[in-house]
Amino acid sequence: MTKFDDKLKGLPPIFYLNMDHRTERKEHLENEFSKWGITDYTRVSANRFHTSKINEWGPKLDLMLLAPSDASIVMNEFWTFIDWYNSGISENMILIQDDLALDLIEHWPFDWNTLYKNLPYNWDIIQFYYCHNEFLNMHLSPQIGESSSAACILINRNFVEKLMQMHLQPDGSFKLSNSLRDISIPRECYSSDDWLIYQVGKSYTLPILCLNQRLATRPDNRQEASENEEMYDEVVAQYHNKLYDILATTITRKWWESSSKKYSADDILSWGSPIHHEMRMALPQYEGH
């Protein structure tokens, strides 16, 4: 038992995606769970839909414009959702990526039960960490298309029912529809987990966590163990550092550590009042953005 147990009482089961060779990330996240008294978690091997096996599982997915690595993420997430749904173990679940940090929980002016009771009545998916090209709203708000990342999300059973109805085919394959008809959205977005999953159901954003900065900036985009050097591309590695993830993590952490005490739980768990204007944090802009 830890002093944090009461704060996280009622937390639903957690599933985290982790590639088999990323043992450092596994150790990091499970140490976080131990620190915060979280015991109901399950590691899901992201090697289940590894890019090296795409000839085996790729035909089960309408790839559209997906890169193999993006297709792998979509398949791992979708089947984790469905496997959890079919298990019937709970009404809600949390999906986490293995570079998430949990230390901002210390600064929450609410516990998990208070947070949960204040979620909008029609929610299907809640984004607990996000990045954006221009700003971060440091309070609960409806999710917008430019708010990317699936590093930590809460879903309910209704979400998975919609997912299966919309995308799962009778033969067990997934058809990723691009029938939203919003021509301002690039076609490839319809096949990106950062965008696609938030179109399945009613989505909200509540930035209460951030990434582990050291892990988020490591050039470790290798899909295989380190001996397979031919799969490592330094340019791709730098791209995968994700500039806006780094900025979002820095700003989110600074806000919770330095500014959150100025706001009540009600301020953070709502949107639409004048006080929320001052809770919007601008991201630095760069020439050519």
Contact residues for 6 (Cβ-Cβ < 8 A; gap 6+): 111
Each residue of 145-196: pLDDT tens digit? Answer: 888 899 999 999 999 999 999 999 999 999 987 788 888 887 777 778 888 8
Residue 136 lies in a domain: yes
pLDDT value for 14: 98
Residue 288 lies in a domain: no
Residue 1 lies in a domain: no
pLDDT value for 226: 38
Residue 4 has pLDDT above 70, yes or no: no
pLDDT value for 217: 55
Question: Over pLDDT 90: what percentage of the chain?
Answer: 69
Contact residues for 14 (Cβ-Cβ < 8 A; gap 6+): 33, 38, 40, 41, 42, 93, 94, 95, 96
Residue 227 lies in a domain: no
Residue 5 lies in a domain: no
CATH code at position 175: 3.90.550
Q: Average pLDDT in the 263-270 region?
A: 98
Buried b (16+ CB within 10 A) or exposed e, 76-89: bbbbbbeebbeeee
Residue 226 lies in a domain: no
Query: Number of structural domains, the chain?
Result: 1
Outline where DSSP puts E strands in the chain.
Answer: 14-18, 41-45, 92-97, 100-101, 125-127, 135-137, 141-142, 152-156, 203-205, 210-211, 280-282
Residue 289 lies in a domain: no
The domain of 68 spans 14-221+232-282
Each residue of 48-67: pLDDT tens digit? Answer: 999 999 999 999 988 766 78
Residue 127 to residue 100: CA distance in whole angstroms? 13
The pTM is what?
A: 0.90
pLDDT value for 178: 76
Residue 287 lies in a domain: no
